[in-house]
Structure formats: C-alpha cells, structure tokens
Amino acid sequence: MDAIKNKLEIINGAEFLIKESSTQDTFTPEDFSEEQKMIQDTVHDFNKSEIYPQTAKIEKQENNIAATLLEKFGALGLLGTHMPEEYGGMDMDFNTNTIIGEAVGPSGSFSVAYNAHTGIGMLPILYFGTDAQKEKYLPGLVTGELKASYCLTEPSSGSDALSAKANAVLSEDGKHYILNGQKMWITNAGFADIFTIFVQVDGNKFTGFIVERGLEGLSFGEEEAKLGIKGSSTRMVFMENVKVSVDNLLGEIGKGHHIAFNVLNTGRFKLGASVLGGSKMATQVSIAYANERQQFKTPISQFGAIQHKIAEMGIQNFISESALYRTSHFINEKIKDLKESGESYSGAKLKAAEEYALECSIIKILGSEVLDYCVDEGVQIHGGMGYSEEGVIARAYRDSRINRIFEGTNEINRMVIMSTILKRAMKGQLDIVTPALAVQSELQNQTTDTRTFEEPYGLQKQSVANFKKVLLMILGSAAKLSMEGKLDLKKEQELLMNMADIVIDIFSVESAVIRASKIKENNTEKVATEIYSDLVNIITYEASHRIYKNALDAISSFVSEDKQGDFVTGFRVFTKYPLQNVKKLRRNIAGAMITEGDYCF
C-alpha cells in the first residue's frame, strides 16, 4: 500500500489545496514551550491586574487610559516582541507572538489599540522604512513612548483603498510634500504620535508617508460614537497643507499599495489571533453562567439545548485554534528559511506574510465569524442577563461585530482567497491543472484513489483529500471557461464566495484533523478521552454537508443543465461521510467543557 508519508518541509502558501500536510509540519497549543506558557501567563496577569478592573474607565476613555496601558505593556517588553533587538525589541519567533496576540484578545478595546500599534502601526516602518526612519521611530514605538496609527480609509474609499482622494504635491524647494485630504475610522488617532498616511502624489501615485503629530495643518475630529470597542480611540484625521519632510516618504512614490496590502496580511493574522482569545473568554463566561444559573431546580448547563450551544462553541474554537497555530507555524518556518537564505530581517517577515496571504485571510474570516457565534450564543445562554451591561457578554457582543469589517471585510477577504489561488495558478506557482485532470480522469474511468491514509483518523484524512477534489472540479471548470472568455469571474462574486467557503472548510477540517492526530501520536495526557475523535467526526461530517451545498450552488450558477449531472455525481462521491449521532457527539463535547468549566481542548 502507498501510505502518505510524513514530510518535513513546510508547504508553500495555498499548496494545502493540492498537498497533504503531516503532524510534523504543524504547530499546536500542545507544543507550547515552558517559556511560551510563562509569556502567555504574563499577558493574562496583565489583563487581570490592569485591564479588567478598569474596564469602565477604558470604555469611557478616561484620562487617555489606552495610551497609559500601552506604555505599561511596553514596560514589560510586550510591544516589541516582534521587533529586532537593535531597536530595543525582543525578537521572539512568530509562534510566540501569536500566543501573545491570542492572550491579548480577552482585553476588549485594549486589544484593538495593541493590534493597531504593533501591527499596522509599526510594521510599515519595519518593512519599508529606511535605516534612518527605523532608528528614529522604532525604539520609541517598542517602549510605548511613541504610539502608532495607520491611515488608509477615507469617506469615499474603504475596500477600494486605491481610489483615495487625499493628495500630496512636492514643494517648490523640493524639501517637503504638502498633504491635503481626510481619513476616517482611524484607530488610536486620539493619542498616536506617529501616523502612516496614504495619499495620491501628483493625483495618481498612491504613496505612504510617516507623519508626526503636531505638524501644522494636521487636526482630528471628535471621538466617534461607535456600536462597540468604545474604549478604542477612533477619529477622523484632517490634513490641510501639512508639510511633511521628504525624509518621511515611506517606500517609493507610487508603491504605497505594496505597503498597504502587505501590512494587512499580518494585520489580518493578528486579528485572527486576538479574536480567538475573545472567543475563548466568551465561552468560559457562558459555561460559568450556565453552571450557576438554575431553572426547574437544575443548572441550565444540564439542558440539551444549552449543551448544544456550549458544544458548538468548543467545536468552533477548536477549529479556529488549530488553523491559527498551523498558519503561524507556516509563517514561522518560512521566516527561518528566508533568513537562512540571506534575506534581511524585515524582508523575511514581509515575504513570509505575503507567501501565506491566503491563509491569513482564512484566519481572519474564521476567527471573526467564530467570535460572532460565541458572543451571540453567549448572550442567549445568559438570557435577560446577557442584555445587561452588568456582565461582560453584552460588551463582548457589541465589540465583536467590527471584526468582520476590520482589515478588509470578510467578503473582500473571500475575494482575496480566490484571487490568490487564480493568480498563482496563472503564474505557474500553484499547479491546480494536474490534480484537476486527475480528478476528471478518476470520475470518467470510475477509478478510486488507491492511497491509504495513515491512522489515526485515516477516514477523516481521506475525506479532506476528497473535499479538495470537489474544489478542483469547480475551480478547474470555472478557470477553463474564464480562459476561453465564456465566464468573467470578476462579475461572479457569488460563485467566488461559494468556492472560498469550500477552501475555508478544507483548511479548517484539515487543521483540526492534523492537530487531533498529533495529540494521539504523541500519546499526551489529553488522549485519555475519546473527545478528539468526537471533535474530528462532527467537524468532518458537518463540513461535508456545507461543502456539498456550496458545490451545488457553485455549478448551478455557471454550468449548463445538461452537464450538471456529472458534477453532482462527483460531489456525492467526494462528500460522502458516515452518518453521525451529532446529539451524542455534542453532549460528549459539552460534558467535558461543563465539567472543566471552560474551553478545555
């Protein structure tokens, strides 16, 4: 038998669609080192001592408290864990920074300030700044003495960022650029010292500049009255003949899109890490309430309807967590490889994030939608108390909603997923033609895949391989029609959304199965129960139905009726999965969480 062998190499971005991953090329929470656990505990302790007791003050933005908290976080070295030592950073690996990002997640509005400062605030300078710019700004940003902000969105340009109207012209003496225009929804604007601002130079050259607070002509609107994340400073930024030194040009004239889009890759990933922390918190407080609240002389956690919700929280958190740390490891190892090949510190980080842009979009979508589920059902479990501001779940519900809009809407990120696949296929970086033809041959000749997938979870691994065939059937046909000029994919967003959701399901299920396999292979104490078998069974089973539905919706939108039958037959074959007693599986999963009083996988 040809068994799928464990591979030591890390697959490239999007290659999970055409290759199998092994337990050896993934990272899971079970792999955290003692040092990483200590760092995680440090962040949790900061939340308990500095954030939670001051939630009311943070929500009201009293005494510029977010800025003060950033300084305290910086004093612990936690604003520079992803920065080079030469600028005062701690240069921790990407996996450790992911752990920190997740641990910050339960801090609510503070996590927004933190992510804006350390991500889209600092990274443009690290990735694209000159040596002089890095030396001038990064040390202060690492300590928290300086705070960062990122100015991209305008009243008339959100997802279409390159249509920005803010502009800049070179002064007559050639020493300054004169900036005019406005930006909106700018996080940290109320207290930031350093702004990365994108404008059109000479009307049509999208360009970034480092702009310091206090420059004449730079002003700010009032704090926005927002649905959630009320403790996060959000203001408009106005530029009226702001003179910015030519030394503060960031990158090259007309190349601002390279800065904006590449920084957003990491920003999306960081958001995915933080929302996982928020999801776990919402799950924990919901279980605690369900265990305490009694109706009919029984804790409501003992009722099947509530157990269903708790179990689903656990299932979705397990998926999100597994996918997050798998992607983290991809990026972590790519950074190492690039450095070993001679790439610079900043270049390695930039190129690694760019390589896994698709996966970063998945993490952002997945994490934000899991959080939305957890806080929504958390309110439902709390009942009337969930609608009260006395507890944390009402605030969590309001805070959550922005995450599906932040860092590119989830709809835009689904488009990013598909455009990345298609672009890499056209460039020959991702061979989808060969496996697509193999699937076509398999169906036409009624042959079966003879590969044997190693246990544990061989059935689930086989299912993941089959799910990939479903995508290849759709993708191959759509791409062929597109190349023939018979299908304009840019105008078929519904079709792209169907395919993107299949991609997300494939990555999610595979990540969960790989993690469960690793737990069992390593014979850790977690293997004492069959809970991981329950998890991967229900995850794979339910994904099979979603993929089948998305596949049908996809082909019905562009395949003629006389040819749809072959597709449907293939979809049925490749999404077949044994019937599962989902009630029993969910009760087992909920029971473990209720006993533990928390998400415990």
Among candidates 233, 137, 251, which has minimal Cα distance to 192? 233
Q: Which of 20, 407, 510, 542 is catalytic?
A: 407
Backbone angles phi, psi at 487, to 5 degrees: -145, 120
What H or E segment, with its residue span, contains residue 482? helix 458-483
Per-residue 3-state assignment (H helix, E strand, C coil) for 537-594: HHHHHHHHHHHHHHHHHHHHCCCCHHHHHHHHHHHHHHCCCCCCCHHHHHHHHHHHHH
Asked whether 461 and 513 are in contact (CB, 8 A), the reply is: yes
* Nearest-angstrom CA–CA distance, 16 and 176: 47
* Nearest-angstrom CA–CA distance, 167 and 171: 13
The answer to whether 321 is a known catalytic residue is no
**Cα dist. 137→152, 346, 369, 505 in Å?**
20, 15, 35, 41
* Nearest-angstrom CA–CA distance, 163 and 174: 26
Phi-psi category of residue 581: left, alpha or beta, with phi > 0 → left and psi -120 to 50 → alpha: beta
**Cα dist. 26→5, 8, 161 in Å?**
15, 10, 34
- Scanning 293-409, the segments in alpha helix (DSSP H) are 304-340, 345-355, 357-382, 393-400
Query: Residues 6 or more apart from 90 whose CB is under 8 A from it?
Result: 77, 80, 81, 83
CA 4 and chain centroid, separation: 29
The one-letter amino acid code at 404 reads R
- Residues that are catalytic: 407
